[in-house]
Structure 1
Amino acid sequence: MSKITIYHNPRCGTSRNTLALIRNTGIEPEVIEYLKNTPSKQALADIVAKSTHTVRDIIRAKEAIYQELDLANPKWTDDELLDFMVKHPILINRPIVVVDNETARLCRPCEEVLDILPLPQLKAFNKENGEAVIDENGKRIV
């Protein structure tokens, strides 16, 4: 069986919906609440390397500290941005899902996770807001 890890913020609806979609396959993922258990700089670099994302893609620009630190400024290197994410984990965009320690994806919107899950959806699924994502046959609604 595949190993799935989700870097999760339980206060985030997108993260909660992504976690629920993973569980809807019958898999119980490893859940890392990254605000409590911040990944190391190397772990974040590994996530980027296993994904199609850049370091800037996985930094959360909506946080006040992003503006305070002027992180939009291109002067910051990827290495420096990773340091900021370790020091201020609220800057880590979420949720990030890693499958079999090989593939990583920022799952915004939550439906992004469907492209990397190794098992099909078992039943219908609606997001917290009621939007249908998976039909009664376990198929994605487009």
Structure 2
Amino acid sequence: MIKIYHNPRCRKSREGLQIVENSGKEFEIREYLKELPSEEELSSVIGLLKIKPIDLVRKNEAIWKESYKGKELSDSEIIKAMAENPKLIERPIVIHNNVAVIGRPPEKIQQIL
């Protein structure tokens, strides 16, 4: 089953959800700002994305700029920051068949569907 980490207030996330809906495949929506992901879940998603934790961070968010920017953080500290402040997580993230992509641009989602 397809899983999309979704923020309904984000235009790119809504566009990504539309692509998933149009695929006609069964999917699950994870509104990660309401149902916060654990550090373990984020680590798993990062592994599927095959990226470094810092590459999943929205670096223009005020929380990042005020609390983390310019600091030397370990991967686990970055993951903890995202778990505690899920607004820092890039979106949308789509997972299908143990492969994941960040839907920026949203058309990248079609590659795994």
- Which TM-score band applies after superposition, normalised by the shorter structure? over 0.9
1:87 maps onto 2:75 in alignment: no
2:93 match: 96
- Counterpart-to-counterpart distance in 1, 2:36 and 2:69: 19
Deviations 1:9-50 (A, max 9, x none): 000010001110011111241001000001110110001111
1:139 match: none
Q: Which has the larger radius of gyration?
A: 1
TM-score by length of 1: 0.76
Q: CA deviation at 1:54?
A: 1.6
- Counterpart-to-counterpart distance in 2, 1:52 and 1:98: 12
- Counterpart-to-counterpart distance in 1, 2:87 and 2:99: 23
Q: Which has the higher helix share?
A: 2
1:138 match: none
Deviations 1:79-100 (A, max 9, x none): 0001111111111110011113
Secondary structure of 1:6's partner? strand
Q: CA deviation at 1:52?
A: 2.7
Deviations 1:55-103 (A, max 9, x none): 1111111210110013343x10110001111111111110011113x11
2:36 match: 38
How do 1:35-74 and structure 2 match up within 5 A?
35-73=33-71
- Counterpart-to-counterpart distance in 1, 2:112 and 2:58: 22
Sequence identity (%)? 39
Secondary structure of 2:3's partner? strand
Given residue 83 of structure 1, which amino acid in structure 2 is its aligned partner?
K
Given residue 26 of structure 1, which amino acid in structure 2 is its aligned partner?
G
1:108 maps onto 2:104 in alignment: yes
Give the paired residue count: 113
Checking the alignment, whether the CA contact within 8 Å between 1:53 and 1:105 is kept in structure 2 is no
Show structure 1 runs of 5+ residues with no match: 118-142
TM-score by length of 2: 0.94
Secondary structure of 2:95's partner? strand
The structure 1 segments of at least 4 consecutive aligned residues displaced by more than 6 Å after TM superposition are none
